[in-house]
């Protein structure tokens, strides 16, 4: 067939074709004048790769990647576009009493498919230009351990499990106070234009640099000052993120003996798994995960029995401060224990639960199709007085929903483990862009789950105890005073829901996790078990989130400790020695103390904790995203590709505007509920004039706590935004410099010819399958690179 | 996952005898692809991958046993921690 002829040509006349054919194909790019102007030693140099003539081609021809539009394909894409259009119309334009949850699923999935097929393809063709003839780090640095060419579908699952955590489950729940539409639009549009772009770019650029970390790339691209600012920002952001995730767990477990028992049981279960893997059956990970999963289910059920006994309720009903101290102690011990004993087994368990639960929730939403009664825009969409998270829609919606739309944390994963495992360059689109689309879908499901519960109950659960007084009567009075259309909360609704989920009370269970758990229980019980199983599903969901978060706390502390050791290493070389235990312990203690202090501050905050701290979490995460995008922009500019620079510049500009505006509000807003310093001044004044109580603080001690907390929060806001502005400023300066000279020196690893082939997307195309068959006939000993490590 | 579509097809040149036979074969294929996916993703196959790499690149040196391999792997993770997401 024609394909074969073309491929023949492709393999034998590789080098000359690259010189002429490639330039011709990129003619369009040269129209801008600067695009093609590559100075000596700068911009995107075309590598000359000579392929082993004994092997089949390692890449398909450019022409074979071009779409062939057959009538069935056209019909399929028209149908996807129409279905997506109908779904968006149902969500955004049709104003009925209710809207069915299935439209959220259709709107999201159709938009993702179109974005993946067209926009990510555009990014691939115009901006990144992967070259499958180049070996990936997994191939040229192969060591059989962390550099291993991995099947793309396996790596997709791996990467998804690493990026998905509690973040996309919590943010959308809190943002549901503004109605369903703002959150839905931001999750879906944000991911296709910003979040997935960031993940894809960072993965690709890190892969081209042998799997270098984000911090190292920052130093390479932005110089010493920009790079150092990026590293300090990452460290500070890590601390705040760990603290606020821990706060979510504390809020979910406070006064819940069932939750405390089941979540504590994960520790002995993980220890058992660790010992099993080390001494009994090394390497049997799936086997031990299944055993662990069964034990975990038993722990959830047993939690219900224990909570009903008198001694159980007495022993496991813990005050939030006690739980916070427990998590801090746990965090320190977990982070200094060897990985095999606690972190690794719990990570396996968490991966297992993550994939399973997400598949289950997606299935349940499609089967149950709950009706949503929440309005598209709620009463709080216009103002800044929402009781769940304060602040106006712009910019606070965009920082409240961080993960799920755009998450800077992913840049740390996309520049860590994953690029070392990519088999072929073209697969980065499926893994990077596609992986983030899946995370966004998780966020949509979390939003649907939160929307499916009664609005009155939603506000009773998510308003701080300072507003509701923590009592059923207080919550009913507060929620009914909000003047929400169609909401008429009764004490009975709150007590019967609490009884159904096996909790003493559901009033002021802030943090998002309990609301999501109730939503999940509400949907799942319609599918399996009815109200009798509702308490099981509720605690299943709590357990599932706690498991993610505890893993993130442990891993985050370790990474932060590692970064701190590296920094201290500049002063005293001994800190760089990974086997110096005392150094590791000192650094761990410093990091735990840092996040622990913020956690305690959040738990004891008279103003509620989550509602004042969560914006800081979102801002921190988005600032990290802005930093990652800024580094990507500098790289794109150095490659000399200015015509398509907007693909990075637009999300970067948006993320910068959002986070810097949000920070400015937090620093300068005169509204006490929004601005940290305004709140600080109000309470200081009240203290100075000798008031005995002020606002939500009933005592002078509480008032002093508010002054202290707002000072810390305000200082953190200033630190974050300053660091981010430094990094973004350096990136813009480097971009302009590259624009003036038409490009800059590349920090990519030298190109080496690949000696293997694999399809690029989820499903292999016809041409890819044909080439795979050719490769199947090649002797195994010919395939691998001759030069091992 | 692409293996699923393959599973519905009978092997070339040998038409599936009965519908039942076809279903059994499809189920078998589906199960083995699921097993392959889960064990590769969770990491059960890591040692086999390493052995394959080692025998190819250092055919003259002995391969460490599975227990040692995992010990070294976890020790390495202790020294250079990897991040998990929020």
Q: Please give the C-alpha separations between residue B55 and each of A148, B62, B63, B64, in angstroms, as whole numbers.
A: 15, 8, 7, 11
Note the pLDDT of residue A44: 55
Q: What is the pLDDT at residue A485?
A: 86
A contact residues 266-285, partner B, Cβ 8 Å cutoff: 277-278, 282-285
* Residues written for chain B: 86
Angle among Cα A559, A343, A421 to the nearest 5 degrees reads: 65
Reported as a pLDDT band with limits 50, 70 and 90, residue B44 is: very high
> What is the model's pLDDT at position A6?
40
Interface of A with B in 659-678 (CB under 8 A): none
- CB contact under 8 Å between B49 and A144, yes or no, is yes
Query: Is there a contact between A283 and B46 if contact means CB atoms under 8 Å apart?
Result: yes
Average pLDDT over residues A590-595: 96
ipTM of the complex: 0.86
* A to B CB pairs, distance under 8 Å: 137
Phi/psi of residue A260, nearest 5 degrees: -60, -45
CATH superfamily of A65-125+154-256+317-421+428-675: Amino acid/polyamine transporter I (1.20.1740.10)
Q: Is A697 helix (H, G, I), strand (E, B) or coil?
A: strand
Residues A217 and A700: their CA atoms lie apart, in Å, by 49
Q: Is the pLDDT of residue A389 over 90?
A: no
pLDDT reported for residue A777:
85
Report yes or no: A677 and A710 within 8 Å, Cβ to Cβ: yes
What is the average per-residue pLDDT within A720-738? 94
Per-residue pLDDT reduced to its tens digit, A492-528: 999 999 999 999 999 999 999 999 999 999 999 999 8
pLDDT of residue A46: 66
Which of A714, A669, A704 shows the shortest CA–CA distance to A683? Answer: A704
Query: Comparing A148-162, A202-216, A329-343, B3-17, which segment has the lowest mean pLDDT?
Result: B3-17
d(CA A114, CA A283): 40
Beta strand spans in A303-393 (E): 371-372
Residue A469 has pLDDT above 80, yes or no: yes
Is there a single domain that holds both residue B34 and residue B54? no
Which of A351, A417, A555 lies closest to B42 in CB terms?
Answer: A351
* Least confidently predicted of A227-241, A410-424, A724-738: A227-241
Query: pLDDT-derived band of residue A178, with 50, 70 and 90 as boundaries?
Result: very high
- The answer, yes or no, to whether residue A127 has pLDDT greater than 50, is yes
pLDDT at B3 over 80: no
CB atoms within 10 A of CB A332: 18
pLDDT reported for residue A41: 41
* A165/B47 Cβ within 8 A: no
Nearest Cβ partner of B84 from A145, A165, A289?
A: A165
3-state class (DSSP) for residue A134: strand
Mean pLDDT, all residues of chain A: 89
Which of A138, A142, A145, A169 should we substitute to test contact with B (largest number of B Cβ atoms within 10 Å)? Answer: A145
Report the share of chain A in percent with pLDDT over 70: 93
Is 80 exceeded by the pLDDT of residue A154? yes
Number of structural domains found in chain B = 2
Query: To which residue do tokens 């755009």 refer?
Result: A406
Interface contact flag, B41 A154, Cβ < 8 Å:
yes
Contacts of B42 in chain A (CB under 8 A): 285-286, 289, 348, 351-352
The residue ranges of DSSP E strands in chain B, in sequence order, are none
pLDDT at A579: 81
> How far is residue A704 from each of residues A243, A590, A597, A771, B84, measured CA to CA in Å?
22, 25, 16, 71, 36
Alpha-carbon distance of A130 to A677, in angstroms, equals: 48
Average pLDDT over residues A318-333: 95
In a domain, B23, yes or no: yes
A4 has a pLDDT exceeding 60: no
CB A328 within 8 A of CB A322: no
Beta bridge partners of A694: A697
Q: Å from A786 to nearest chain B CA?
A: 8
Query: Which of A121, A5, A134, A10 lies closest to A65 in space, CA to CA?
Result: A121
pLDDT, greater one: A230 or A9 = A230
Cα–Cα distances in Å, from A538 out to A506, A532, A542?
12, 11, 6
- pLDDT score recorded for residue A440: 97
How far A252 CA sits from the closest chain B CA (Å)?
Answer: 16
User: Residue B69 is part of which domain span?
Assistant: 46-79
Q: Are A380 and A386 in contact (CB under 8 A)?
A: yes
Question: Which chain B residue shows the shortest CA-CA distance from A558?
Answer: B81
- Amino acid A403: pLDDT: 87
CB-based contact B67 A552, cutoff 8 Å: no
Q: Does the pLDDT value for residue A377 go beyond 70?
A: yes
| C-alpha gyration radius of chain A | 27
Per CB-CB distance under 8 Å, the chain A contacts of B67 are 282
Candidate from A25-29, A438-442, A665-669, B7-11 with smallest mean pLDDT: A25-29
**Nearest-angstrom CA–CA distance, A229 and A378:** 39
Phi, psi angles (nearest 5°) of residue A446? -65, -40
Which band of pLDDT confidence, cut at 50, 70 and 90, is reported for residue A62? confident
Residue B86 lies in a domain: no
**Alpha-carbon span A122 to A228, nearest angstrom:** 33
Between A69 and A111, residue with greater pLDDT: A111
Nearest-by-Cβ selection for B40 from A154, A282, A344 = A154
Q: Report pLDDT for A534.
A: 95
Residue B72 within any structural domain of the chain: yes
Structure confidence at residue A778 (pLDDT): 84
At A45 the pLDDT is 56
Q: Is the pLDDT of residue A735 over 90?
A: yes
pLDDT at A10 over 50: no
Query: What pLDDT band is residue A28 in, cutting at 50, 70 and 90?
Result: very low
**For residue B4, is pLDDT > 50?**
no
Q: Are residues B35 and B11 in the same domain?
A: yes
- Does the pLDDT at position B11 exceed 70? no
> Are B42 and A352 in contact (CB < 8 Å)?
yes
Q: What is the pLDDT of residue B15?
A: 55
| Residue of chain A whose alpha carbon sits nearest to that of B63 | A144
What SS3 state is found at A358? Answer: helix
What separation in angstroms does the CA of A510 have from each of A139, A520, A571, B51? Answer: 47, 16, 42, 50
Confidence (pLDDT) at A316: 95
Using an 8 Å CB-CB cutoff, list chain A residues near B84.
162, 165, 347, 413, 551-552, 555-556
Instruction: State the Cα–Cα distance between residues B73 and A688, nearest whole angstrom.
Output: 59
Burial A773-789 (b: 16+ CB within 10 A, else e): eeeeeeeeeeebbeeee
Handedness of CA A512, A406, A384, A723 (dihedral sign): positive
pLDDT of residue A780: 66
What is the average pLDDT across A773-788? 68
Neighbours of A307 (CB within 10 A): 23
Confidence category of residue A784, pLDDT binned at 50, 70, 90: low
B26 and B54 housed in the same domain: no
**Contact flag B83-A164 (C-beta cutoff 8 Å):** no
A551 touching B (Cβ < 8 Å): yes
Residues of B whose CB is below 8 A from A154: 37, 40-41
Q: Do B33 and B56 share a domain, yes or no?
A: no
- Residue B2's pLDDT band (cuts 50, 70, 90): very low
Dihedral sign from CA coordinates of A85, A91, A93, A94: positive
Judgement on whether residues B37 and B50 belong to the same structural domain of the protein: no
C-alpha span between A502 and A775 (Å, rounded): 58
* Whether residues B10 and B37 fall in one domain: yes
Across A1-5, A46-50, B68-72, the highest mean pLDDT is recorded for B68-72
In the structure, what pLDDT confidence band is assigned to residue B16 with cuts at 50, 70 and 90? low
pLDDT (0 to 100) of residue A681: 95
Report yes or no: A167 at the B interface, CB cutoff 8 Å.
yes
Tell me the pLDDT band of B86, cut-offs 50, 70 and 90: low
What is A382-417 written as a DSSP string? SSS--SSS-S-HHHHHHHHS-TTT--THHHHHHTTT
* DSSP code of residue B14: S
Ordered by start, the domain boundaries in chain A are 65-125+154-256+317-421+428-675
Point out which residues pair with A371 in neighbouring strands: A100
- Scanning every residue of chain B, which has its alpha carbon at the shortest distance from the alpha carbon of A347? B84
- Alpha-carbon distance values, A270 to A160, A163, A327, B39 (Å): 22, 21, 16, 19
Which of A145, A153, A339 lies at the smallest CB-CB distance from B37?
Answer: A153
For A274-292, how does the pLDDT look when each residue is reduced to its tens digit (9 = 90+)?
A: 999 999 999 999 999 999 9
Among the partner residues B50, B54, B86, nearest to A403 by beta-carbon distance: B86
Stronger pLDDT, A418 or A64, i.e. the higher one = A418
User: From CA A117, how far away is CA A80, in angstroms rounded?
Assistant: 11
Task: Give the separation between CA B21 and CA B6, rounded to whole angstroms.
Answer: 15
Closest-CA residue in chain B for A789? B57
Best CA proximity match to A472, nearest among A457, A491, A458: A491
For residue B31, the distance in angstroms to the closest alpha carbon of chain A comes to: 15
Q: What distance in Å separates residue B62's CA from the closest CA in chain A?
A: 15
Is residue B85 a part of any domain in this protein? no
Restricting to A residues 217-246, those with a Cβ less than 8 Å away from any Cβ of B are: 241, 245
| Distances from the Cα of A381 to the Cα of A501, A570, A675, angstroms | 30, 49, 18
A residues 125..144 contacting B (CB < 8 A): 142-144
Q: Give residue A570's pLDDT band: very low, low, confident or very high (50, 70, 90).
A: confident
**Cβ neighbours around A24 below 10 Å, total:** 7
Residue A688 has pLDDT above 80, yes or no: yes
- Closest-CA residue in chain B for A787? B57
Nearest to B2 among A287, A409, A763 (CB): A763
Query: pLDDT tens digits, residue range A475-493?
Result: 999 999 999 988 999 999 9
Of A348, A556, A578, the CB nearest to B42: A348
pTM across the whole model: 0.91
For residue A711, count CB atoms less than 10 angstroms from its CB and return exposed for 0-12, middle for 13-18, buried for 19 or more.
Answer: middle
A151 CB within 8 Å of a chain B CB: yes
Model pLDDT, residue A607: 81
β-sheet bridge partners, residue A99: A372
Is residue A199 within 8 Å of residue A414, measured between CB atoms? Answer: yes
Give the residue, A681 or A786, on which the prediction is more confident. Answer: A681
Residue A150 is given by DSSP the state B
Average pLDDT over residues A737-748: 93
Tell me what pLDDT residue A17 has. 38
pLDDT in tens, A102-111: 999 999 999 9
Categorize the per-residue pLDDT at A783 as very low, low, confident or very high, splitting at 50, 70 and 90.
low
Radius of gyration of chain B (CA): 20
Q: Is A486 exposed, middle or buried (0-12, 13-18, 19+ CB in 10 A)?
A: exposed
Confidence of residue A758 (pLDDT cuts 50, 70, 90): very high
> How would residue B6 be classed by pLDDT, with cut points 50, 70 and 90?
very low
Q: Which residue of B has its CA nearest to A248?
A: B86
A712-730 mean pLDDT: 93
């Amino acid at each position: 067939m024609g394909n074969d002829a073309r491929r023949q040509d492709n393999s034998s006349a590789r080098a000359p074709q690259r010189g002429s054919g490639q330039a011709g194909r990129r003619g369009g790019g040269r129209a801008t004048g600067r695009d093609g102007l590559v100075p000596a030693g700068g911009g995107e140099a075309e590598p000359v790769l000579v392929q082993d003539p004994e092997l089949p081609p390692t890449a398909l021809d450019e022409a074979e990647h071009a779409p062939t539009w057959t009538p069935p394909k056209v019909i399929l894409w028209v149908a996807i576009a129409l279905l997506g259009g109908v779904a968006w119309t149902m969500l955004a334009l049709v104003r009925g009493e209710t809207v069915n949850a299935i439209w959220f699923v259709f709107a999201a999935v159709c938009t993702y498919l179109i974005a993946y097929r067209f926009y990510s393809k555009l990014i691939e063709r115009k901006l990144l230009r992967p070259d499958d003839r180049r070996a990936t780090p997994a191939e040229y640095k192969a060591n059989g351990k962390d550099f291993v060419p991995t099947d793309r579908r396996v790596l997709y699952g791996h990467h998804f499990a690493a990026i998905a955590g509690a973040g996309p489950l919590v943010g959308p729940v809190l943002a549901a106070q503004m109605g369903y539409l703002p959150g839905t639009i931001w999750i879906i549009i944000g991911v296709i234009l910003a979040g997935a772009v960031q993940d894809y770019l960072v993965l690709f650029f890190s892969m081209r640099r042998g799997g270098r970390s984000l911090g190292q790339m920052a130093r390479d691209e932005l110089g010493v000052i920009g790079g150092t600012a990026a590293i300090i920002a990452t460290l500070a952001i890590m601390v705040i993120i760990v603290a606020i995730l821990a706060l979510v767990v504390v809020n979910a477990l406070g006064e819940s003996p069932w939750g405390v028992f089941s979540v504590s049981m994960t520790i002995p279960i993980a220890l058992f798994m660790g010992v099993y893997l080390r001494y009994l059956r090394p390497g049997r990970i799936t086997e031990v995960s299944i055993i662990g999963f069964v034990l975990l289910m038993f722990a959830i059920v047993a939690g219900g029995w224990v909570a009903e006994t008198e001694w159980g309720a007495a022993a496991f009903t813990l005050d939030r401060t006690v739980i916070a101290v427990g998590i801090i102690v746990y965090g320190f011990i977990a982070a200094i224990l060897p990985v095999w004993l606690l972190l690794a087994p719990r990570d396996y368990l968490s991966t297992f639960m993550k994939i399973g639960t997400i598949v289950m929730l997606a299935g349940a939403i499609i089967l149950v199709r709950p009706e949503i009664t929440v309005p598209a825009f709620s009463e709080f969409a216009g103002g800044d007085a929402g009781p769940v998270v304060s602040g106006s829609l712009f910019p606070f919606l965009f920082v409240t929903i961080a993960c799920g739309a755009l998450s800077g944390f992913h840049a740390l994963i996309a520049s860590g483990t994953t690029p070392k495992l990519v088999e072929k360059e073209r697969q980065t689109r499926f893994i990077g862009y596609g992986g983030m689309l899946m995370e966004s879908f998780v966020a949509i499901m979390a939003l649907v789950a939160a929307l499916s519960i009664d609005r009155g109950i939603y506000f009773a659960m998510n308003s701080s105890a300072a507003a509701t007084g923590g009592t059923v009567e207080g919550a009913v009075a507060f929620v009914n005073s909000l003047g929400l259309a169609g909401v008429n909360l009764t004490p009975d609704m709150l007590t019967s829901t609490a009884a159904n989920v096996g909790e003493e009370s559901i009033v002021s269970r802030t943090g998002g996790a309990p609301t999501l758990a109730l939503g999940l229980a509400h949907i799942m019980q319609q599918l399996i078990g009815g109200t009798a199983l509702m308490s099981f599903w509720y605690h299943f969901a709590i357990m599932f989130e706690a498991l993610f978060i505890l893993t993130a706390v442990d891993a985050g502390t370790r990474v932060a400790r590692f970064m701190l050791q590296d920094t201290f290493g500049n002063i005293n070389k001994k800190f760089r020695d990974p086997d110096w235990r005392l150094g590791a312990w000192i650094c761990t203690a410093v990091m735990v103390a840092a996040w622990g202090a913020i956690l305690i501050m959040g738990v004891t905050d008279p103003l509620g904790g989550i509602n004042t701290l969560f914006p800081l979490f979102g801002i921190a995460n988005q600032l990290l995203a802005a930093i990652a995008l800024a580094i990507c922009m500098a790289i794109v500019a150095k490659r000399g590709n200015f015509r398509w620079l907007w693909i990075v510049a637009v999300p970067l500009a948006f993320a910068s505007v959002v986070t810097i505006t949000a920070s400015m509000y937090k620093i300068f807003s005169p509204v006490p509920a929004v601005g940290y310093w305004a709140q600080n001044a109000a309470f200081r004044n009240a203290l100075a004039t000798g008031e005995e109580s002020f606002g939500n603080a009933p005592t002078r001690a509480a008032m002093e706590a508010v002054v202290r907390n707002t000072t810390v929060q305000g200082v953190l806001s200033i630190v974050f935004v300053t660091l981010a502005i430094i990094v973004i400023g350096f990136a813009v300066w480097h971009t302009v410099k590259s624009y003036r000279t038409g490009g800059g020196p590349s920090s990519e690893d030298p190109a080496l010819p690949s000696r293997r082939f694999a399809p690029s997307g989820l499903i292999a195309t016809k041409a890819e399958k044909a080439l795979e068959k050719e490769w199947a006939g090649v002797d195994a000993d010919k395939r691998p690179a001759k030069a091992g490590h | 996952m692409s293996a699923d579509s393959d599973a519905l097809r009978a092997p070339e040149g040998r038409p599936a005898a009965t519908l039942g036979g076809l279903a059994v074969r499809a189920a078998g294929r589906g199960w083995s692809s699921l097993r392959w996916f889960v064990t590769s993703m969770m990491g059960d196959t890591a040692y086999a991958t390493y052995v394959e790499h080692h025998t190819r690149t250092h055919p003259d040196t002995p391969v460490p046993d599975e227990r040692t391999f995992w010990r070294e792997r976890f020790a390495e993770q202790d020294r250079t921690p990897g991040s998990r997401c929020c």
